[in-house]
Structure 1
Amino acid sequence: MRYLFCSLDSPGFLFPALAIARELRRRSHEVAFVTGPTFASFVQDSGFERIPRGEQDGKSFQIETFAQPAEMVRQARHVEYALGRFHADVLVGQQLALGPLLAAERQGLPVASLGLASYIFPVKDGPPGPEPLDRRAASLHDGLLARYNEARAAVGLPSSSPPYRETPLIGDLLLLRTVPELEGNVEALPARVRLVGDCLWEPPEAPPDPELERWLEDAEASGQPLFYVQPARDLEFCDFWPLVVEALKELPVRVVAAIRRPGIEEETFPSHFLVRRHVPQSSILRRARGIIASGTTTVVLGALTHGLPALLIVAGGEQFSTAERCRRAGAALNLLRRTDNDLTPQAIRAAVEELLATPGLAGNAQRLREALARVDGPARAADLLEELGFQRQRPSRVAAS
């Protein structure tokens, strides 16, 4: 079987795709990738071919513009060019990469999507329910569908507006990166949705970082709790980082933060802070007491696979859905930011103190860690992709799979 993986140009999306691709290759399937040029050498160093956008390569599968119809069309053209060089049996896209869905329909191929840590669309047809999460899910879906229909028109496909449970935005198969203990009520999900665990993967660790190791050893020796802080990738929704600095500058904790902003490492912070543009997440999480982050998939799953409770500061996108799942599972405290004025350092500090004083949060996070550990995510995903490829139709549903 031949699988063409279509990944957004971000480690948080590319790395789990590579985890599944490695498992398919272990089973003697052929695998190739389309993604942006930023990670071309990384994909190739991982042993896979990355097919360019065309004879003249260029940007594609950009996370910053995933919801723009022009980007969806660009992705579809990239995939169709790749299919001319690699005759795939199955396309494997991602829930926020909608171009592969267009290409699959035009080329008559089955398509799977690698999902997030929660189901972000409505599970019932008709008007949204009274819960804020239901209204946000409907708004997110309807907004994406409108843009997707613009892209469909641009590639000569008719408009699509089926009921929510038949949404075209999840492909023939959605591999949701969670477990029943976190998602809850899995029987309400559309039949095309299957749960595959976290599917987390990180490349082999870089050479040791003496400065980081010394700082972490000192933090451990201090006996003060260590927190890992990671705002949203592009700080688009809310840059809560300055508020976190103000909140924790006099609290007896240690803080390691990954802030993707040029020049951040030259700024001055309190001595109990270590701030970099990038830190190896797993090396910090195995020593941490908790995280402070947006509700994005990679950092939330990273925390839960280490049994860590979270303070989640959410403002948009998938963050609402994932953060609410964590709160309902008793593993997170949530703060909602709607405007620049409704989140304060005092609120963040109080939430951190509550997290430290509530052992049940850590206990629930540990139970989720155990649930995630029971699922071999890449193997489960590979099983379902093989089934999709062999049957060339939607897999039958298995209860609580």
Structure 2
Amino acid sequence: MRYLFCSLDSPGFLFPALAIARELRRRSHEVAFVTGPTFAHFVQDSGFERIPRGEQDGKSFQIEIFAQPLEMVRQARHVEYALGRFHADVLVGQQLALGPLLAAERQGLPVASLGLASYIFPVTDGPPGPEMLARRAASLHDGLLARFNEAREAIGLRPSSPRYRDTPLIGDLLMVRSVPELEGDVASLPERVRLVGDCLWEPPEAPPDPALEQWLEEARASGLPLFYVQPARDLEFCDFWPLVVEALKDMPSRVVAAIRKPGVEEETFPPHFLVRRHVPQSSILRQAHGIIASGTTTVVLGALTHSVPALLLVAGGEQFSTSERCRRAGAALSLLRRSDDDLTPRSIRAAVEELLATPSLAQNAGRLREALARVDGPARAADLLEELGHQRQRVPRANAS
């Protein structure tokens, strides 16, 4: 069978797609990719073809503008160009990459989407009710659907106005990167939704980084708590980093931060901080006492698979649903950012101290680590994709493996 993976141009989205693609290849299926050019070398290093956007290649599947109708149309055109070179049986997209859904409909192909660490849309039809999480899920879904319909009209498809449980935004199969112990009431999810574990994957380790290894060794020897900080990719959307610096500048601790901001490594920070644009996440999490992050999928799942509790500073998007799942499971604390007054150095410092003083957070994170470890995510996802390819239609949950 032939699978065309359609990935946003970001390691956090590309790497789990590569994990599943490698499992499909192990089962003797053919796999190719469409994604932007920035991280294409990871596709090529894994032995897969990355098909360009056209005769003149260019940017595509950009995470920063995933919700713009023009970007959805660009993605659809990219996929359709790729199908002219690679005649796929199944498209495998991602929940925030909506262009493949358009291409699949136009080409009459089954389409699966690789989801996030939680189901982010409403689970029941009708008004969302009083619960804040349900209202936010409805708002997120309705906003994306409106833009998706703009893209549909732009390429000659009729707008869609379904009930939430019949939403077109999840394709024929949505593979959520979670387990029942984290997601909660699985029976309430739409039948097209499956849980497939974390599906985390990192490329082979780069050459040793002596400076980082020495810093981590000194951190271990100090006996002080180590925190890993990772704000959202879009710093303008949730730039809590200066607040964290202020909160922890005098706290006996060690802090490693990955800040995707040009020139950040040349800035001056307290001596117990190590700040880089990128650090290998797993190498830090092996000895971290906690993470301070925005609640995005990769860092949350990375923390849980290392039994590390989290302080999640939440501002929007998937962060609300994922942080709430972690909070309900007893593995995280969360602070919502509804205005500039909600997050302060004082509130962050108090939450960090509460995290250190609450051993049950790490214990519950360990329980989730065990649950995630029981699931071979790429294998489960590959099983579902094979079933979708054979059935070429939605598979009832009762028949799912």
How do 1:87-98 residues align onto structure 2 when only pairs under 5 Å count?
87-98=87-98
SS at match of 2:39: helix
SS at match of 1:106: helix
Cα distance in 2 for partners of 1:276, 1:286 equals: 18
**Paired amino acid for 1:162:** P
Aligned to 1:113: 113
Residues 400 and 54 of structure 1: CA distance in aligned 2, closer, same or farther (over 3 Å): closer
Aligned to 1:17: 17
How do 1:209-358 residues align onto structure 2 when only pairs under 5 Å count?
209-358=209-358
Cα distance in 2 for partners of 1:387, 1:399 equals: 10
Aligned to 2:203: 203
1:240, distance to aligned residue in structure 2 (A): 0.3
SS at match of 1:37: coil
Residues 62 and 73 of structure 1: CA distance in aligned 2, closer, same or farther (over 3 Å): same
**Paired amino acid for 2:84:** G
How do 1:34-183 residues align onto structure 2 when only pairs under 5 Å count?
34-183=34-183
Q: Give the TM-score normalised by the residue count of structure 1.
A: 0.99
- Please list the CA deviations of residues 225-265 of structure 1 after superposition, one character each: whole Å capped at 9, or x if unmatched: 10000000121321000000000011111100000001100
SS at match of 1:268: coil
Cα distance in 2 for partners of 1:234, 1:215 equals: 27
1:186 has 2:186 as partner: yes
Whether contact under 8 Å (1:187, 1:399) holds in the other structure is no
Residues 291 and 398 of structure 1: CA distance in aligned 2, closer, same or farther (over 3 Å): farther
1:382, distance to aligned residue in structure 2 (A): 0.1
**Paired amino acid for 2:118:** S
1:92, distance to aligned residue in structure 2 (A): 0.1
Cα distance in 2 for partners of 1:400, 1:88 equals: 23
SS at match of 1:343: coil
**Paired amino acid for 2:57:** D
SS at match of 1:38: coil
**Paired amino acid for 2:339:** T
Whether contact under 8 Å (2:229, 2:255) holds in the other structure is yes
Whether contact under 8 Å (2:384, 2:400) holds in the other structure is no
1:39, distance to aligned residue in structure 2 (A): 1.7
Whether contact under 8 Å (1:331, 1:364) holds in the other structure is yes
1:324, distance to aligned residue in structure 2 (A): 0.4
Whether contact under 8 Å (1:260, 1:278) holds in the other structure is yes
1:80, distance to aligned residue in structure 2 (A): 0.2
1:41, distance to aligned residue in structure 2 (A): 2.3
Residues 300 and 148 of structure 1: CA distance in aligned 2, closer, same or farther (over 3 Å): same
- Please list the CA deviations of residues 85-133 of structure 1 after superposition, one character each: whole Å capped at 9, or x if unmatched: 0000000000000000000000000000000000000000001021000
**Paired amino acid for 2:79:** V
Tell me which moved more, 231-240 or 19-28. 231-240
Structure 1 unaligned residues grouped into runs of 5+: none
Cα distance in 2 for partners of 1:155, 1:239 equals: 36
SS at match of 2:356: helix
Whether contact under 8 Å (1:186, 1:400) holds in the other structure is no
Cα distance in 1 for partners of 2:342, 2:321 equals: 20
- Please list the CA deviations of residues 246-297 of structure 1 after superposition, one character each: whole Å capped at 9, or x if unmatched: 0001111110000000110011111110000000000000010110000100
Residues 352 and 399 of structure 1: CA distance in aligned 2, closer, same or farther (over 3 Å): farther
Cα distance in 1 for partners of 2:330, 2:129 equals: 23
Q: Give the TM-score normalised by the residue count of structure 2.
A: 0.99
How many positions carry a matched residue from both structures?
A: 401
Cα distance in 1 for partners of 2:211, 2:133 equals: 43
**Paired amino acid for 1:375:** V
Aligned to 1:379: 379
Residues 167 and 221 of structure 1: CA distance in aligned 2, closer, same or farther (over 3 Å): same
Cα distance in 2 for partners of 1:264, 1:393 equals: 48
1:400, distance to aligned residue in structure 2 (A): 9.9
Structure 2 unaligned residues grouped into runs of 5+: none
- Please list the CA deviations of residues 361-391 of structure 1 after superposition, one character each: whole Å capped at 9, or x if unmatched: 0110000000000000000000000000011
Cα distance in 1 for partners of 2:42, 2:174 equals: 26
Whether contact under 8 Å (1:327, 1:333) holds in the other structure is yes
Cα distance in 1 for partners of 2:39, 2:291 equals: 27
**Paired amino acid for 1:76:** A
- Please list the CA deviations of residues 289-331 of structure 1 after superposition, one character each: whole Å capped at 9, or x if unmatched: 1100001000000000001100000001100000000000000
Residues 232 and 94 of structure 1: CA distance in aligned 2, closer, same or farther (over 3 Å): same
Q: CA RMSD in A?
A: 1.0
Cα distance in 2 for partners of 1:160, 1:400 equals: 27
**Paired amino acid for 1:378:** P
Cα distance in 2 for partners of 1:312, 1:63 equals: 21
- Please list the CA deviations of residues 32-84 of structure 1 after superposition, one character each: whole Å capped at 9, or x if unmatched: 00000112222112100000000011111000000000000000000000000
Cα distance in 2 for partners of 1:41, 1:207 equals: 17
SS at match of 1:85: coil
SS at match of 1:92: strand
1:393, distance to aligned residue in structure 2 (A): 1.0
Cα distance in 1 for partners of 2:7, 2:400 equals: 27
Tell me which moved more, 251-260 or 232-241. 232-241
Cα distance in 1 for partners of 2:64, 2:339 equals: 21
Cα distance in 1 for partners of 2:315, 2:290 equals: 20
Cα distance in 2 for partners of 1:110, 1:236 equals: 37
SS at match of 1:59: coil
